[in-house]
Amino acid sequence: MKNSKNILIISPFFYPEPISTGKFNTDFAVGLKDLGHNVKILCYHPLYPTWKINKTKAKINNIEIIRGGKFLWFSKKPFLRRFILELSYAFFILRKIKTSQKNIDIIIPVFPPSLAFFSIIPLLKKNIQKVGMVHDLQEFYSEEKKGLVFKVLQAIIHKTEKKCYNSCNKLIFLSNEMRNESEKIYGLKNTKLEVQYPFITIKNQFTNDLEHIFDDAKRHIVYSGALGEKQNPEGLYDFFDKATLSIDNSIFHFFSEGEEFNKLKQKNNNPKILFHNLVKKENLEELYLKSDVQIIPQKTGTSKGSLPSKLPNLLASECKVFLITDSNSELEKLFKEYSLSFVSTNWENETLIKNLKKLLNEKIDFEHQNKVARNIFTIDKMIEKILY
């Protein structure tokens, strides 16, 4: 291909991880490859969302995958887990960057983690374009932590992310809130900041493998995907638990994996709340189609820190979407601007249940919802902003 680029992606998360950053990176890398670019990625063996290394030889045609981390162990404590990830991946990148950056035109660090890119900034060739992709603002999530240790940690995160972001020729943020917050916190130059929402990845691949889970006589309210602090898992479970008492003929589902998922599953004694592992990627459209409502929860005060990457897929499906987010957040404004249903800006259970009942009985224009998704959440615009 004329004008094809040699591109190096730096992120521990990659194929065949089924959700979150790993899924995003995979689809993004394949999109670049399909346009004729040469793509290489320095990643770990799959680890998310279980935080356990699963050794793999899985490959993608015409993408060079260089893996590490096969002997790693991750703590159940989020702070230690993040520390292990940051430090170990930084050492991995330091060992690999000299040979991996040969003939590279563009390097794309996906943040977080940040320490890996921070450690190699002085080692990168001057002619390589550095285009950062920001998925989460770690400093933002660390602000609410208390104690001296977390204050020191926040200072380290600030210094690391500031150096990383300012060293990039261009930064792509997944929301305007993230961009504006970063510009303010790190004193970034406005001219090198871009915003592009995450993109649709579903491919109209319908199956019929989940009938044993979804009883047609019931209404199914579903949370599916990564389950961590920013999704407010305890608050989400409490909402489901209370809602089972008020909404007749309903079943509530968690489709996830990992430590927070296991905690909720172990404490659950409500027969109307069911726990399932993540579905296979080929069953994703079926999951959405058989869900009466899909929940997208954001913990209070966190909307500026990230944007849910599964939102585009849900809006592109014939599925009712119930968003719980901050008042005046970007997502609330987006839903209002495009007349999408439904948004709640309050985690109070009585309010959530009232809103959920309303949505269950509301007729949704799925054609309009799909059209909005196809216009806003496109991979083509993201790739264009990376390359030009």
Give the model's confidence band at 141: pLDDT under 50 very low, under 70 low, under 90 confident, else very high: low
Q: Tens of pLDDT along 322-372?
A: 999 999 999 999 999 999 989 999 999 999 999 999 999 999 999 999 999
Alpha carbon of residue 40 to chain centroid: 21
Region class of 222: left (phi > 0), else alpha (psi between -120 and 50), else beta? beta
Alpha carbon of residue 95 to chain centroid: 27
Nearest of 87, 96, 145, 139 to residue 116 by alpha carbon: 87
Alpha carbon of residue 220 to chain centroid: 23
CA distances from 350 to 245, 246, 353, 386 (A): 11, 10, 5, 44
Residue 127 is classified by DSSP as T
Q: Tens of pLDDT along 84-120?
A: 999 999 999 999 999 999 999 999 999 999 999 999 9
Nearest of 25, 52, 27, 183 to residue 113 by alpha carbon: 25
- Kindly tell me the burial class for residue 254, based on how many C-beta atoms sit within 10 Å of its own C-beta (0-12, 13-18, 19 or more): buried
pLDDT, residue 313, reads 94
pLDDT, residue 157, reads 86
Reported pTM:
0.92
- Mean pLDDT over residues 176-186, rounded? 93
